[in-house]
Structure 1
Amino acid sequence: MAQILVERENRRFNPDWTTQFFFHEVKGKPTCLICNSSVAINKVANVKRHYTQNHPDYDGRFTPGTARGQEQLDRLTRQANGQMAMMRGATSLQQRAATAAVQALYPEKPDIQQAVQSVPLSRNTCARRIKVIANHITEGVIYDLNMCESFSVAVDESTDVNDVAQLSVFVRYYLNSKFSEDLAAVIPLTERTTGKKIRWLSKGKALQRVWTVRQHIEQFLSEIGGDAAERFLEILRSEHSLRDMDFLTDILAHLNDLNLELQGEGRNVVELWLAVTSFKDKLHCFYEDINSDINHFPITTEFVNGRDDVVNLTPARAFLVDVFLEVEHCFAGLDSIIGIIELVA
């Protein structure tokens, strides 16, 4: 009776549900792009109920209609399309193999052939085929990375079908006269994570976080006691160690800013060259600044102003020289095409 009422109401999937509730249509049923669960009836109340009850944080993290929301929707859609294409490919391959085997064994019995063709693949068979394909792709990426001269790594936050945060590791490399980009690994993040925590994976943010909670760390080490704790306490209470940590926190924050400028899809070589050139100019400014007002190093400034005696910043100046030489070395390849860059810049 319920099915007859549904057919009479002529309920159909509304495309607006995709942008509003992260749903798409699979075999006539509204299916959640986030967790891959389906709703029995094409009804907005059912779709909305599933979205609000099972994914309440999505409105805050990926608000529909915003750029971040659209980016997440595009990512989930590509993921779903890829999974369906892989399943169709694995199913087709298995069915062709089974059909060929039955035709060879029972060439005069079309009823048996038809029966075998109509048998669906089990879930375990599909999962096994997907695992084989995934392993093959992984081995191919590892082989290419071993063959190429150099490669770069980028990380991004994503979620799986159960909305569990994971770290996606991408690699970009040059091999066989072409640039390639592949997904190297997906690492589940079992603890609760946010975009801010993902950015703490960089050294600058990590050290800044340690500096922010250094007093709590010192209190914790004092409470637990022990030889190891005492050694760490000596480091935290040492004037030289605090000076070095404050300066490293400042300079690594600047390096982290450069790192972010060099990331992002669609960045061209001119933009990267301008970012590197600008940072090298900043290093000259930093070197002069460390000899005078140290305005570009706020944490170091706080440390210096809190001391009555003169703070020796000679190690900081030497470190800035090393940073400049390292940047020159890492981006030496840009010098070979500087003529072309200046022409199009």
Structure 2
Amino acid sequence: MTVSKKRTISDESRVFQEKWSHNYFFIQVKEKAICLICQESIAVMKEYNLKRHYSTKHAAKYDMIEEKLRIDKLALLMKNIQGLYLSLKTGHKDSEASIKASYIIAQKIVAKSKPFTDGEFIKECMEVSFEILCPAQKQIFSKLSLSGVTIARRIEELGTNIESTLKERISKFIFYSLALDESTDLSDTIQLAIFVRGVDSNFNITEELAALFPMKGTTKSCNIFNALKSTFNRFDIKLNNLSGVITDRAPSMIGKNEGLIALIKKEMGTCGALQLIQYHCIIHQENLCGKSVGFQTIMKDVVKIVNFVRSRALNHREFKNFRSEIDAEQGDLIYFTDVR
């Protein structure tokens, strides 16, 4: 006994017929029949289904339209539905552009350290400007959301995206180094800045601020090390390929037995990592040199030279001619004065 297979819609090869447009006001859109009058779709493209839809919903109004008037009505409905699809498509593009613009404005606001509520003021200025320059485009800015809550959410999403991108780059590092520095903010909270610089197998170098860790209590080496381990766990950073650490000369950083560098070396010894190289921050070295040399030592000779040139008219004229011959950017020399 043979069992007949159940027919499917694809097996029947149903094809939309042009007469259905004239008789029932339907068109085909992506293998579905769409009613031009109410924009409803018919999943199964059979004449019986289209006829039943037209008879139950539209026949009473549209059966009286015949011949040329029916053709004109069909053309008008097709034109209307094309305009509807075009407006929906354009509206979708405008919505995407508005979201992208709000992200860019949020990035500009946070880059300039402006209040989040400034977004509403920016939107107001843009609306006023476009009302004068191009009134037809003013409605686009009405869809642009720049409230304080929206700007805060956009900035948070941007930060999350940056963090995920940095995490992906760190996972590809062959070797990397760290730079750590701590500073006190206006609220007397110690902020530990952790910078990471690494290179991948394609010799692409990445240098970014990995974390700005607030330290509420003490700033002992163990506290700094715990903050560093927290950053490691956050970005899935391994100690195996850590090559160097840059710090200042604070005892909590470079202590022989309990300093941060000593704690990192002990931790690296348990995982068989390479030998760690320690560097001293160049900015701290410049500050130390500035305290040792002193600015007055340099300016004493500078003031003596300036006074020699300007003390006599002949010296001044010869100096001006000399600068003119060498095409110097400044044409004259002024007296030195202290800034108060």
TM-score w.r.t. structure 1 length?
Answer: 0.28
Higher normalized strand content (fraction of residues): 2
Higher normalized helix content (fraction of residues): 1
TM-score w.r.t. structure 2 length?
Answer: 0.29
